[in-house]
Structure 1
Amino acid sequence: MTDAIKIDVWSDIACPWCYIGKRNLETGLAEIAEDADAPQVEVTFHSYELSPDTPVDFEGSEIDFLAHHKGMPADQVEQMLERVTGVAADAGLGYRFDILKHTNTVKAHELLHFAKEQGMQKEMTERLMSAYFTEGRHVGKIDDLVALAGDVGLDAEATREALESGRYLEAVRADQAQAQAYGIQGVPFFVIDGKYGVSGAQPAAAFAQIARQVWAERAEEPAAS
């Protein structure tokens, strides 16, 4: 039996294109699941902080943050967010930048590593991104993160201990070091089977195509003796 294709995804909870890219990837993989010889795929998420200097409690709107961070006029930022909201809607996501609570995401990344150990990374990634972009939930404070972890079935006490101890920070930093080694300068970034790099929130069809291509390449490889 052919081993599963490994897709490693570098993303940030607070990256609007990352959630769109995640959803498009899922849509593309759902499409190829109908193939007669459906590729087996294993997806792993890795940590990347777009704005590590962001305070946990940022005072102001997303427009305020981006205008300051990118040095763009507020009306230009507003147009940019409207465009992203439209692209998100096409992917089936209802972005609410008007209620979004901008925050530091390092603790959310620590939570994802804890969830990964419990076999719940996929569910936790979806819950965090949905909470952040569509529900206006805070994803930077431990109390809020423990509540969101509970939504996917993680133990509250164990989650709190994991976050308060900071023992997953090293894993977050290791992901970031790997991103640097790969030369990743923006997210989402997808590494397919350790040999193909795909940057940005590609359409679902593009993800389906590359997964089929890699699966076909696998089939052509001579069997190990």
Structure 2
Amino acid sequence: MPTVHVDIWSDIACPFCYVGKRNFESAVAASDVDVEVTYRSFQLSPDMPTDVSGTHAEMLAAKMGVDVDTARGMEARTTGLAREVGLDFDYEALHPANTLLAHRLLHLAKAHGLQGEMKERLLAAYFTQGRHVGRLDELVDLAAEVGLDATEVRAALTGDDYTADVEQDVAQAAAYGIRGVPFFVLDGRLAVSGAQPPEVFASALRQATEQVA
């Protein structure tokens, strides 16, 4: 069976990206299709500062133009969706942050063959563990946990390394017309938008392998 290359545009600060990741992984396991995944950068809030005062609910309310109670209801709904796929979101501990540094780190991890591990570690850190993924020291520690060299990571993120890679991903997303994430592109031909159920991803994977064959 041919390998299906899957490019996934997503953001570390996107709850549906984490849920969609789990659903996609379930589809891969059930369909027994060989996949090669590359995570592509997409920032939902590129103008967000590194440190955000207030709670996630307050930030979400301001962004969406709703009151804080409505924002908490939105949090509750995504927490419920996450629980269905085995994830325990903790919005009370969550630190909203600009994710540019984290996206650069993902490109560095890709260069070392550890992008998948780094993506999972960042999502878990942000949504379930209250870690601050916008701060350099936190990112260095998280990178070391998946096997990256802390000194190399600090030097790369202190400089401008991999910024161009993030910008290239963002430009490609615009060329594809991507306005929301997660967004999955299989072999550059088939697209699946959103945190779809596993059966939708499984169908797309089968279609991709049939077209290659």
* Residue in 2 that maps onto 1:83: 77
Distance (whole Å) between structure 2 residues aligned to residue 24 and residue 144 of structure 1: 28
Matched, 1:124 2:155: no
| Superposition map of 1:1-225 within 5 A | 3-33=2-32, 39-219=33-213
Runs of 4+ in 1 over 4 A off after TM superposition: none
Task: Answer with 88-97 or 203-212: which moved more.
Answer: 203-212
Cα deviations across residues 112-143 of structure 1 (Å, max 9, x unaligned)?
A: 00000000000000000000000000000111
> Structure 1: which 5+ residue stretches go unaligned?
34-38, 220-225
State the SS of the aligned residue for 1:153.
coil
Distance (whole Å) between structure 2 residues aligned to residue 213 and residue 186 of structure 1: 23
State the SS of the aligned residue for 1:104.
coil
Distance (whole Å) between structure 2 residues aligned to residue 102 and residue 157 of structure 1: 26
Distance (whole Å) between structure 2 residues aligned to residue 75 and residue 165 of structure 1: 40
Distance (whole Å) between structure 1 residues aligned to residue 19 and residue 200 of structure 2: 14
Q: CA deviation at 1:217?
A: 2.4
The TM-score normalised by the length of structure 1 is 0.93
Q: CA deviation at 1:216?
A: 2.1
Query: Alignment length, in residue pairs?
Result: 213
Q: CA deviation at 1:4?
A: 1.3
* Residue in 2 that maps onto 1:223: none
Q: CA deviation at 1:215?
A: 1.1
State the SS of the aligned residue for 1:42.
strand
The TM-score normalised by the length of structure 2 is 0.98
- RMSD of aligned alpha carbons: 0.9
Distance (whole Å) between structure 2 residues aligned to residue 65 and residue 7 of structure 1: 32
Distance (whole Å) between structure 2 residues aligned to residue 53 and residue 165 of structure 1: 20
Give the letter for the 2:176 counterpart.
Y
Q: CA deviation at 1:96?
A: 0.4
Q: CA deviation at 1:3?
A: 4.0
> Structure 2: which 5+ residue stretches go unaligned?
none
State the SS of the aligned residue for 2:125.
helix
